[in-house]
Each structure stands twice: as structure tokens, then as C-alpha cells.
């Protein structure tokens, strides 16, 4: 579960809020009777969304709800890197490092965060506002470089845009997620170059 030098203080107990417990029940109901263990991933996510991370006590509660051995929940939680096994900042900054983002400036994104926030990788600012990690592919390769903040993707970044984003978050404002250059979805930079004139309705062979 943790290394010998991990000084994370684990809470003695955990309980889902009534609203989140109701959501857990709705999730579990999607699976056939006797297959409720299939809900372990979404329940871990609900716990993380509630607490900001997944303490061991939450894993134990999930194991009890799903009638699983606790070790089975631990195995899942420790396998997937998107689950935070220790507290993170209010804004958890995740810099994509896979090839498209790396080619488009991921190194600059990491260095900008380190310099702006005064922390290193896997560290949290003293005020608990920001934490920083590097992650593998976030799946928005066409809009590289990409930084994920909690559940939101900020795409088409450069150092200045990223500094602005961090300033906005620090001020308690939430900038619009998605492309930071105004591109539509994953369209080419500068707009579409083909299929510019699409008929209002398909043209039938008879026409």
C-alpha cells in the first residue's frame, strides 16, 4: 500500500455522504447480482471525488459494500495511477508527458509549474492549493500540450497561457477548459482545410 518513507496520515474511518452513497447504490444496480465487484472502479472514483484522495479506510468501506476482500480493492486502487493514495492540492495539476505533448513542449509545462508554484513533482504547495505530477497519455494528442486540472483538460497551452491559468485558479476563478487557442474540438490549427462547404442536407442520387 505505501512505502516505508510515506508519512501520509490515514484517517481512522470513512463514510460516504448520503448523496454519494446513493450514487454508489445507483452504480452497483447497473451490474447483475453477484457481479457487484465490477463497480469497484467507479466507487473508488466517487470516494476520491468526495475526499480528494482515496484513504485506506475508504477502500475498506468499498470492500464491505461490494462484498470483496479488502486486498482486492487495494490491488485495483494501487494499479491505476489516476487514484491518489495520499492527499493532493485543491487543484491537482497533471502534466501529460507522452510523445505528442513532449514534442509540443511538455518539458516547458512542467518547468513553468515548478517555477510558478515553487514545488517539485509529487509535491504540494504549503497552502494546499496546488499539487503537481507528470502523467502518461491523457488522450488529447491533437491538442498538445495538455494539462489536466482535477477532471478538466486545458489544451493547446504554452508557458504564458499556463501561468495565466495558474493565476486564475489561485484567484478562485475557473477558466473555461478545452483549447486555449479557440480551436473547435480537435480541428486543425487555423480552422478546417477540407469539407468547408457541407450541404445543408445530403444530396440524393436523383438530384
Contact 178, 154 (CB under 8 A): yes
Helix axes 40-51, 56-65, angle to 10 degrees: 140
Over range 4-8, report the average pLDDT.
Answer: 59
- Rounded distance between C-alpha atoms, residue 52 and residue 48, angstroms: 5
Predicted confidence (pLDDT) at residue 176 exceeds the cutoff of 60:
yes
For residue 49, give Cα distances in angstroms to 21, 83, 109, 150, 195: 12, 10, 25, 9, 41
pLDDT (0 to 100) of residue 4 = 36
Mean pLDDT estimate for the chain:
91
| 3-state class (DSSP) for residue 130 | strand
Residue 204: the pLDDT is 55
What pLDDT is attached to residue 146? 97
Write down all domains in the chain, each with its CATH number in brackets: 18-79 (1.10.10.1590), 91-179 (3.40.30.10)
User: 131 has which bridge partners?
Assistant: 92, 124
pLDDT tens-digit readout, 131-163 = 999 999 999 999 999 999 999 999 999 999 999
For the segment 81-107, the average pLDDT, to the nearest whole number, is 95
Q: Say what the pLDDT of residue 172 is.
A: 95
Among candidate residues 22, 10, 116, the one with its CA nearest the CA of residue 55: 10
pLDDT value for 155: 97
Q: Taking 50 as the threshold, does the pLDDT of residue 174 lie above it?
A: yes
pTM, to two decimals:
0.82
Amino acid at each position: 500500500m505505501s512505502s516505508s518513507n510515506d508519512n501520509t496520515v490515514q484517517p481512522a474511518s470513512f463514510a460516504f455522504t448520503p448523496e454519494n452513497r446513493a450514487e454508489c447504490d445507483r452504480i452497483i444496480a447497473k451490474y447483475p447480482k453477484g457481479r457487484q465487484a465490477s463497480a469497484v472502479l467507479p466507487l473508488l472514483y466517487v470516494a476520491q471525488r468526495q475526499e480528494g484522495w482515496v484513504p485506506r479506510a475508504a477502500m475498506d468501506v468499498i470492500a464491505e459494500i461490494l462484498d470483496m476482500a479488502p486486498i482486492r480493492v487495494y490491488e485495483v486502487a494501487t494499479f491505476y495511477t489516476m487514484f491518489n493514495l495520499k492527499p493532493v492540492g485543491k487543484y491537482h495539476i497533471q502534466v501529460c508527458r507522452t510523445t505528442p505533448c513532449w514534442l509540443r513542449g511538455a518539458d516547458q509545462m512542467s518547468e513553468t509549474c515548478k517555477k510558478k508554484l515553487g514545488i517539485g513533482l509529487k509535491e504540494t504547495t504549503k497552502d494546499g492549493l496546488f499539487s503537481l505530477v507528470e502523467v502518461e497519455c491523457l488522450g488529447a494528442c491533437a491538442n498538445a500540450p495538455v494539462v489536466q486540472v482535477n477532471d478538466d483538460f486545458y489544451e493547446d497551452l504554452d508557458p504564458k497561457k499556463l501561468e495565466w491559468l495558474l493565476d486564475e485558479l489561485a484567484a478562485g476563478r475557473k477558466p473555461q477548459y478545452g483549447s486555449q487557442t479557440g480551436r473547435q474540438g480537435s480541428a486543425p490549427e487555423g480552422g478546417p482545410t477540407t469539407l468547408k462547404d457541407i450541404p445543408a442536407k445530403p444530396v440524393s442520387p436523383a438530384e
